[in-house]
Structure 1
Amino acid sequence: MKAWQKLDSRSVFRNPVLELHQERVRTPRGDETDWTVVEIGDGVCVVPLRPDGGVHMIRQYRHAVGEWVLEFPAGRVEPGEDPEAAGRRELAEEAGLEADAWQGLGAFWPLDGVCRHRIHLFLARGLTPTAPGHETFEAIEPRDFGPEALRDALEVGDIRCGIALAALARVFLVHSEGAS
């Protein structure tokens, strides 16, 4: 199957977080339509794994949904920054943790229908505390989950962040395959 052909693209809005593009496209069947694309750039998500199989999460207020949400440390990969370096920075800033061992778990598109925003996923082990450094607009509380508490939180729907759910799925898949 052929890809859509981009005929035109123009920026209609831009701020420090995102850019909105209006694109004119032609589908493989020859139909032309306008498509709006949100450009956010690359991000990173870190799953801090405890030795007992539990995880460190954060509870963060998210204005877009008007709720406190359970997430993993995550954030933007700055231009020119290596995704693992961004993960190390976000783990320290948001969770107050450093990790000795890092494992890349690939990347994924959390909103691929409308958004160019790729998330690089990492598993962090060998955790030690460090001073957190939240950004001024962030409201963050650390949360620890043992394996059973994590399973319970998933079962009752306490974890609703799509990126966190995708991260947990990947981590559970890696562990079920016997990877270390």
Structure 2
Amino acid sequence: MKEVYNNGFYQVFDEKGRIRIESVNGGTVVVPVTAEGKYIVLKIYRPNLQKIMLEFPRGFLEPGEEPEAGARRELMEEIAGTGDEFISLGTATLDSGISGTANHFFLCRNASCDVTRLQEEEGIKELLFLGEEEMKAYIRGGEIMDSFTIVGFAKALVFTEDQLQY
């Protein structure tokens, strides 16, 4: 296996003609839910797609950073957000065909943010506050197509259903 690229965030390996892409430090995804039960979703411009995407806050972990600390940092950096409780929803590998990187997912309960302090340099344009049924409709309709967001939403739903059974 030969490393062919490393920008400090991603490493690209060539394994006899098969490409493998790994995150150097892993990543974290935050599923922020307000006290009113609304999911906070970013409208973010993604240059590689040349379009606005609807996504949950997420980012790379810093070297040596614990996943929950990374989740808290990303929420603060991207939307000046905080929350009462960060609950681990586990990990997921989002493209096992080319990467083994496990991303850490967290449900942030009672999330709040400052809509006037969005991380514009990351392409964040505005926020949506969506109920559960709106999230499902946006996913069904293709308005939400980001895999991190879809997986995070599914994990949050399963966690919530599990909690309701007790």
Common topology (TM > 0.5): yes
Unaligned runs of 5+ in 2: none
Structure 2 Cα separation of the partners of residues 147 and 108 of structure 1: 21
1:15 to 2:10 alignment: no
Q: Tell me: CA distance 1:133–1:156, structure 2 relative to 1, closer, same or farther (3 Å).
A: closer
Q: Tell me: CA distance 1:39–1:155, structure 2 relative to 1, closer, same or farther (3 Å).
A: closer
Q: Tell me: CA distance 1:154–1:36, structure 2 relative to 1, closer, same or farther (3 Å).
A: closer
**Aligned match of 1:61:** 45
The answer to whether the Cα contact below 8 Å between 1:52 and 1:147 also exists between their aligned partners in 2 is no
State the SS of the aligned residue for 1:152: helix
The answer to whether the Cα contact below 8 Å between 2:89 and 2:155 also exists between their aligned partners in 1 is yes
Map Cα deviations across residues 104-148 of structure 1 (whole Å, 9 max, x no partner). Answer: 000011011112322100000122335746273x11022211233
Kindly indicate whether structure 1 or structure 2 has the higher relative contact order, using CA contacts under 8 Å at least 6 residues apart.
2
The answer to whether the Cα contact below 8 Å between 2:54 and 2:146 also exists between their aligned partners in 1 is yes
RMSD: 2.0
Structure 2 Cα separation of the partners of residues 65 and 40 of structure 1: 20
**How many pairs were matched up?**
162
Q: Name the structure with the higher strand share.
A: 1
How far 1:84 sits from its partner (Å)? 0.5
Q: Tell me: CA distance 1:89–1:144, structure 2 relative to 1, closer, same or farther (3 Å).
A: same
Q: Name the structure with the higher helix share.
A: 2
Bigger shift: residues 158-167 or 44-53:
44-53
> Percent same amino acid among aligned pairs?
28
**Aligned match of 2:148:** 163
TM-score (norm 1): 0.81
- Structure of higher CA gyration radius: 1
Structure 2 Cα separation of the partners of residues 46 and 59 of structure 1: 15
1:91 to 2:83 alignment: no
